[in-house]
């Protein structure tokens, strides 16, 4: 009989090795947060255009801008207004002189009003500026603004296609040369035919003049407060005259009572 073997109390069986854990699946990147909408505001601007050609008088014009908290905008200039509603996907053009309204889908471009030169400028920076310069900070109409200067080449307009030239008429038959005279020779004593004048060499094409757009924007209001555009047309300076933060009246983005709704013009359709 074998005596019972007793293991010491401190003896422990070795634990089984742990299997390697599978790598954790990387978390999907969080979607970028949408920027908050611009705050509602009402503003009045004055724009002055100083043409580049000598003798032209400066031209001044004024316009107003209204912006609601839900993204609607309205621009008033002269006797016309343009209301944009991104949520409804439409743009409304108001003709206050004739009391007419036209509604366009935002996918289409409404015709521009017949405004004089020096109209409301675009504050949007160019897509591909050659140079961008930080102008620092300053105060305009009691609001702190930040300035940027953009230098860019103006867009080139497509040239007008040349009309085909008229076909040449057949030349009249040349008179026979006098006897004993070589063909094409001038008669004795006749003056020599004049030589055609040498045409002037065409002038080399001039490089396009660079344009500079200077914009001063209020970060708090997200509103351009001043701009200066310098280029081939001259210099156009736009300044804020009055700024009122807060929600504009809802009626500013609606067709006024008594206005006639007319259909916008359509492009002519080709005949079958």
* CA–CA dist 239, 214 (Å, integer): 12
Full DSSP string of 146-215:
EEEEEEEPPPPPPPPPPPPPPPPPPPPPPPPPPTTS-TTPPPTTPPPPPPPPPPPPPPPPPPPPPEEEEE
Q: Report yes or no on 24 lying in a domain.
A: no
If you search the block for the tokens 């209301």, which residue do you land on?
83
Question: Residue 148's domain is classified under what CATH number?
Answer: 2.50.20.10
What residues form DSSP beta bridges with 100? Answer: 95, 260
Terminal CA-CA length for the chain: 117
Q: In this structure, are residues 243 and 225 in contact, taking their beta carbons and an 8 Å threshold?
A: yes
Determine, yes or no, domain membership for 115.
yes
Domain contains 12: no
**pLDDT exceeds 60 at position 174:** no
The more confident residue out of 101 and 26 is 101
Task: Grade residue 260 by pLDDT with cuts at 50, 70 and 90.
Answer: very high
Is 65 exposed, middle or buried, given 0-12, 13-18 or 19+ CB atoms closer than 10 A? Answer: buried
Domain, as residue range, for 48: 41-154+208-261
pTM: 0.63
Q: Is residue 140 part of a domain?
A: yes
Residue 6: inside a domain, yes or no? no
Ramachandran region, residue 97 (left: φ > 0; alpha: ψ -120 to 50; beta: rest): alpha
Residue 248 burial (CB count, 10 A):
20
Does 16 map to a domain? no
Question: 13-64, pLDDT tens digit by residue?
Answer: 666 666 666 666 767 677 677 777 899 999 999 999 998 888 889 999 999 9
pLDDT at 73 over 70: yes
Q: Parallel, antiparallel, or unpaired: how do β-strands 73-77 and 80-85 relate?
A: antiparallel
9 is a domain residue = no
Which structure tokens are listed for 99? Answer: 């009391």
Give how many domains the chain has, as a whole number: 1
51 occurs within a structural domain: yes
């Amino acid at each position: 009989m074998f005596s019972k073997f007793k293991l010491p109390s401190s003896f422990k069986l070795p634990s089984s090795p742990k299997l390697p854990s599978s790598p954790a699946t990387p978390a999907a990147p969080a979607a970028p947060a949408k920027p908050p909408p611009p705050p509602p505001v009402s503003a009045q601007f004055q724009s002055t255009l100083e043409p580049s050609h000598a003798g032209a008088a400066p031209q001044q014009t004024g316009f107003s801008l209204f912006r609601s908290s839900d993204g609607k905008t309205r621009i008033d200039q002269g006797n016309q207004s343009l209301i944009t509603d991104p949520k409804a996907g439409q743009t409304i053009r108001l003709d206050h002189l004739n009391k007419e309204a036209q509604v366009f889908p935002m996918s289409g471009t409404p015709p521009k009003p017949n405004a004089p030169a020096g109209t409301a400028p675009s504050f949007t920076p160019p897509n591909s500026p050659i140079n961008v310069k930080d102008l620092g900070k300053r105060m305009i109409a009691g609001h702190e603004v930040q300035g940027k200067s953009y230098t860019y080449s103006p867009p080139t307009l497509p040239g007008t296609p040349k009309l085909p030239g008229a076909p040449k008429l057949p030349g009249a038959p040349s008179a026979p040369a006098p006897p004993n005279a070589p063909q094409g020779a001038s008669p004795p004593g006749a003056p020599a035919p004049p030589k055609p004048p040498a045409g002037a060499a065409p002038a080399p094409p001039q490089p396009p003049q660079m344009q500079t757009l200077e914009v001063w924007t209020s970060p708090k209001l997200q509103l351009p407060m001043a701009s200066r555009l310098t280029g081939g047309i001259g210099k156009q300076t736009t300044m804020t005259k009055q700024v009122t933060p807060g929600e504009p009246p809802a009626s500013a983005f609606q067709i006024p009572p008594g206005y006639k709704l007319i259909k916008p013009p359509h492009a002519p359709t080709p005949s079958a």
